[in-house]
Structure formats: C-alpha cells, structure tokens
Structure 1
Amino acid sequence: MPTVSIITITYNAERFLERTIQSIVAQKETDFEYIVIDGASIDGTREIIDRYKDHITTLISKPDRGLYDAMNKGLHQAKGNYVWFMNAGDELYDAQTLPNLLTRIKATSADVYYSDALFVRDNGVPVGLRSQVTPHILPHNLTWHDMSLGMKVCHQAFVAKRDIAPNYLVDNLSADLDWEIRCLKGAQKIELLPFILCKYLIGGLSVQQHRRSLTDRFKVLVAHFGLLTTLINHGRILWRASRFKSNI
C-alpha cells in the first residue's frame, strides 16, 4: 500500500490540468499513488490525461453528480494510508513537498497534517499566502472548534488518514468544510507542517456560486455548532469581512 493517495478531480479543465499533473510528476518520491477522476470531459482534458497515463495509477472517466460525488469516487478508490486532494489547477508547492510530507508522516504518524496555501491566479501569478490575503489566520494547534467561523485550512493543504476520512456531502457547496470538521473530530493527533503544501487556484466552484455557498456553509456550521452559536458567529464573520480588505 502506498503511504499517500493524491486525488485529482477534473472536468473540462484543459487550461489548468497539466500544471497539476506536472507538479505531481516532479515529486522526488515514489511512495504514493495518483488517482484522477474525470467527469467525462468533452474538451482536451482526456488528451492531457493520456499524455501522462504512465504517471496515473487509477483513472475513472464517466459522468458524475458534481464535484463532491467525484471526490467520493476518488476517496473510494484510494488505497493509501493518507488521502490528499489536489484538483485541476492546484499544484503541489514544489518538488520537495511530498518528500517533506512523507518524512513527517514517518516521524509522527499524525491523523491530520495541515499547512498554509499559496493562492495563485489562473495565469500562475502568486497572490499571497491564504493566511495573509484572507481573514482566515492559520491556527497553530488546529481543532474542529476552530472551524466555527469558517474554513481555517485550505482543502488542498489538508491531508488526512484515510480511515478517518468520511464521505463528502454531495449536494452542499461547503462539503469540504464539513469534511474537514469531521476529519478533525475523528483525529487524535493533528500537526501543523513547517512548510507550504500547495498552490491553490482561486476562483473555484464556491466562488462561482457565492450566494448558495454561503447558505450551504451556514447549514454545515449549524449541524456542527448549533443554530444559536452559528447565528452569533455569522455576526462575527460579517464584522470581520467588513474590516478586511482582500487583495484577491
């Protein structure tokens, strides 16, 4: 069994997929598997996948019910001890990222590893670290309670043991927030890494459908923290947003 399963979800992403695959091919480590779940793309995505087929352990290309249905497919295919989602357009930070992660795993065997993420635009130009360009300051000792004001850790900078990783909510645009909370609830040992795990392509599904994403986030937070706490915290979220000037 590989130590890490890296999973990429893609659909009609010919503009961005190759940078993701290249960042994984560049890793100076072999103790991982690479799973690609494609939603039956009709652009040039499959041609890109085929060019790198020797580096892909498992490929599924068929219609799905959306992003989180596809992520569940990837999760069910994974054989590694840890799962790490790196979707089309996102990248491992540099060629030493996976070796550095595996070194920490062998040393500490934590249930969850997390770090900061470098935000980049679709042309690859860096925007800045997520903890600096958003209101989400990265906790040094992360627990699920830290998520009461929203997603403290970028999903692509969050690596969890497969045996504590639940299925994603299929019809909720904040399913990644729910997934992280449930992983953290099931974790006994959580470790902040001293290096950046990923480059994150800004402008994903939740940004494109912002209003529904906010509603779905509210539902997730109510499920974990209760209605009264969530109402109070949303006042804090709005106050924080009004004071924060984003560079994104």
Structure 2
Amino acid sequence: MPDLLPRVSIITVVYNGEATLERTILSVKSLNYSNLEYIIIDGASKDGTLDIVERHKEVVSRLISEPDKGLYDAMNKGLDLASGDYVWFINSGDEVADPELLNRIFGINSSADIYYGDTLIVDNNGEEIGHRRLSPPENLTWLDFRKGMLVSHQSIIVARRIAEHYDLQYRFSADFDWVLKALRKAERIVNGKAVFSRFLDGGLTKSNILPGLKERFSIMVRNYGFITTLLSHIPIGLKFLYFLIRYKRF
C-alpha cells in the first residue's frame, strides 16, 4: 500500500543552473512514486534558475536560495531539511533514469540501509555517452572502495539514519568520503540491478582531477591503510589508462 512505502527525499543542489536544472526537475517529476519529498538548494543564483523552479513549484517541497560555502555545504543544508527515510542526491544536470525505479527497488526490499545501481554518462544535450569507467559490483561493501568509487554518488540511495554530514575539509571528494562512511555503517545493502541515474559529464571532481585524487588517496589511507592504498592504485591506474586510451574519456 502507498502509505507503507518509505519516504524518499530527493535533494538537488544548483547554482546558476539555468541550462541544466529543468531536465533534472522533469526527471523527478516523472517519478511514479507516492511518498516523495523534493528539496532544491540554490546558492543564490544570478540567472534564471529560480524562474525554472517557479515553473515547476508543484513538485518542489522545499526551496532554499542563499549563498553557501560550496557544493558540499549546500548538500549539508539539504540533509538538514530532509524528512524522508532515505536521501538521494540528484544535482542540477543529472536525471533519474527510470520513472518506476523507486517502486521497483522498494518492492524488492523496503528496509535496507542502502540501495545502489549503475550510472549512464550524458552530455550537455542529454545524449548518452556511455556507462561510467567503474562499474558497481554484484554485492557492494565498504571494502570495495579500495578499487575506487565503484558506485557514483547519484546512484546510491542512503537511509537518512546513517547519512552523516559531508566533511567540508574535502573540497572535491567529500562525496567519496560520505558514501564510504555510509557503507561502513550499513548492515543491509541492496543492488537495485538497474541504472539509477543519468549523470551530466564533468562536475567538480573531474574539473579538479589532481586535487580530487589527492583527497581520495588521503581518505583511502585513513580507511584502508597506506600500504593497501598504495598497492591498490596499481590496478586502478592501469584500468584508468586502458579506459582513457580505448574510449578517449575518463
């Protein structure tokens, strides 16, 4: 029954997203799910972002528009506002992949700590580029992140009770740290066996690849130890080079 479905808080962070926000809102609007909360955190945009939100205000549960200290500070604001049993970050330019996704995964198991799936990369026109370089494993645990971020931030739905604030000491990889912390807390993790999101190519970490990698290395050392992290970067590096040479992207 609808009232037994978990409440899901979808959170979208945006700043000057006039060119990308509407596709995100429309994808959330398309969801066929009866217990949904949609929160938009805007960083005091100076373009037509708020006009887009106004056009679709019937689907927006909460809106904040004010300056912030960056992406992860804005995400923390979203967490503070969320009232759902689960939180799901679909930021401006990203899209929910399937209108029936939430009904399907909660029909399998409605009490897991984490649900995860695959991700499609899309360009600025919404055209598919392909799957991510890293693929989610059949059975995900926190130890799998020794191989890198195997599940993208947009394709993981986390129980709010285990969702910590993003650590603002990390400017580019706080999402890696956040997901890893959630995985370490989780007792039941369910593979949704589906594409969860369409991710707009680019983003904060990709445009700051070297400092982002340094932060991830530090996070991995804290969780797995220096030697393990160092050795794990040999296959990570080789797979990265293979993917870059074959597909001309990363």
Class of the TM-score when normalised by the shorter of the 2 chains: over 0.9
Give runs of aligned pairs for residues 76-95 of structure 1, distance below 5 A.
76-95=80-99
Q: Is 1:184 aligned to 2:183, yes or no?
A: yes
Q: Which residue of 2 aligns with 1:120?
A: 122
TM-score (norm 2): 0.92
Change (3 A) 1:247 1:99: farther
Change (3 A) 1:58 1:108: closer
- Measure the CA separation in 1 of the matches of 2:130 and 2:214: 27
Q: CA deviation at 1:247?
A: 4.7
Residues 193-231 of structure 1, C-alpha deviations (whole Å, 9 max, x = no match): 122211111100111111111111111111111112112
Q: Is 1:31 aligned to 2:35, yes or no?
A: yes
Q: CA deviation at 1:243?
A: 2.4
Change (3 A) 1:171 1:45: farther
Q: CA deviation at 1:13?
A: 1.0
Q: What secondary structure does 1:94 align onto?
A: coil
Q: CA deviation at 1:101?
A: 3.2
Q: Which runs of 5+ in 2 are unaligned?
A: none
- What is the letter of the counterpart of residue 151 of structure 2? V
- Measure the CA separation in 2 of the matches of 1:237 and 1:28: 38
Q: What secondary structure does 1:151 align onto?
A: coil
> Aligned match of 1:159 in 140, 157, 160?
157
Q: CA deviation at 1:108?
A: 4.1
Q: What secondary structure does 1:196 align onto?
A: strand
Q: CA deviation at 1:150?
A: 1.2
Q: Which residue of 2 aligns with 1:64?
A: 68
Q: Which residue of 2 aligns with 1:246?
A: 247
The farther-off stretch of 223-232 and 152-161 is 223-232
State the Cα RMSD in Å. Answer: 1.5
Q: What secondary structure does 2:53 align onto?
A: helix
- Measure the CA separation in 1 of the matches of 2:118 and 2:86: 18
Residues 104-145 of structure 1, C-alpha deviations (whole Å, 9 max, x = no match): 3xx341110000011111111101222xxx1x1321010000
Q: What secondary structure does 1:7 align onto?
A: strand
Q: Which residue of 1 aligns with 2:173?
A: 174
Give runs of aligned pairs for residues 213-228 of structure 1, distance below 5 A.
213-228=212-227
Residues 78-105 of structure 1, C-alpha deviations (whole Å, 9 max, x = no match): 100000000000001122223223323x
Contact 1:68 1:170 in 2 (8 A): yes
> Aligned match of 1:140 in 121, 130, 138?
138
Q: Is 1:15 aligned to 2:16, yes or no?
A: no
Q: What secondary structure does 1:142 align onto?
A: coil
Q: What secondary structure does 2:238 align onto?
A: helix
Q: CA deviation at 1:171?
A: 3.4
Q: CA deviation at 1:27?
A: 1.4
Q: Which runs of 5+ in 1 are unaligned?
A: none
Contact 1:17 1:45 in 2 (8 A): yes
- Measure the CA separation in 2 of the matches of 1:219 and 1:246: 28
- What is the letter of the counterpart of residue 35 of structure 1? I
Contact 1:27 1:99 in 2 (8 A): no
Q: Which residue of 2 aligns with 1:5?
A: 9
Q: CA deviation at 1:63?
A: 0.5
- Measure the CA separation in 1 of the matches of 2:187 and 2:135: 22
Q: CA deviation at 1:240?
A: 2.1
